[in-house]
Amino acid sequence: MVRRQPTDPPPIDLLASVQGEVSWFCCGTAWGPCSTTGKGACGTCNSGSLQHAWPNTSDACWAITHPDTCGFNLSRRTCGFQHRITALCSGTSVVTAIADCGPQTDLFCGEKSCCGATCASNRLIDLTPAAYSKIASLSAGLRPCEISTP
């Protein structure tokens, strides 16, 4: 497990918004391959609610997602904490609450998604279908975004 040392820079999203990739995932009662997903790390996750997964909800979560591998020292945010996610393609935003741990940032290190000349790298957040569909089409499975606090 990786712990921050006193000399490390502060987590970036304490100081300013951060840009990365956003995708969507299903949770809660569901159909198809999602039917076995469950209610997430917080026990409240539901595809129809305005929620998201965050890579640093606990030590155990961080040990799975490891955004530091991609150079991100994201702040610890726990269940219910709210973020504003703005789609860089459309400029539309949605405010959602943490309901799960994820995405597994380290498995997609360096990945970049773009719309036109607007790009962002690394998977930092996953939205429920209800939340993602407020800012992009579900058929666009990956988009650049900006993450901030509301």
Partner 1 sequence: MTSRRQMLKSALLGGGASVVAATALGSLGPEAAFATAGAPEVEPGTVDPNFAEGRIRSIKDNTLLVLGSNMVFHNIRVVDGTSLWKLGPVPFEQAKPGDGLYARGVRMPDGVLAAEAVWLNIVNIKGHIKNITSDKIHLDHNGQEVLCHVVPGKSVAVHSESPPSADLSMLRVSQHVQILGAWRPDTNEVDIATVFSPH
Residues that bind partner 1 (CB under 8 A): 23-26, 28-37, 44, 46-51, 80, 82, 89-90, 92, 95-97, 99, 103-104, 107-114, 119, 129-131, 133-142, 150
- Cα distances (Å, whole numbers) of residue 145 to 1, 7, 29, 75, 124: 28, 29, 27, 17, 9
Among residues 7 and 139, whose Cβ is nearest to partner 1?
139
Least spacing, CB of residue 56 vs partner 1, in Å: 18
Least spacing, CB of residue 72 vs partner 1, in Å: 15
Give the max Cα distance, the chain: 47
User: How far apart are alpha carbons 126 and 3 in whole angstroms?
Assistant: 23
Least spacing, CB of residue 81 vs partner 1, in Å: 10
Sign of the CA dihedral running 131, 137, 138, 142:
negative
User: How far apart are alpha carbons 130 and 50 in whole angstroms?
Assistant: 6
Least spacing, CB of residue 76 vs partner 1, in Å: 18
Among residues 5 and 31, whose Cβ is nearest to partner 1?
31
Among residues 25 and 62, whose Cβ is nearest to partner 1?
25
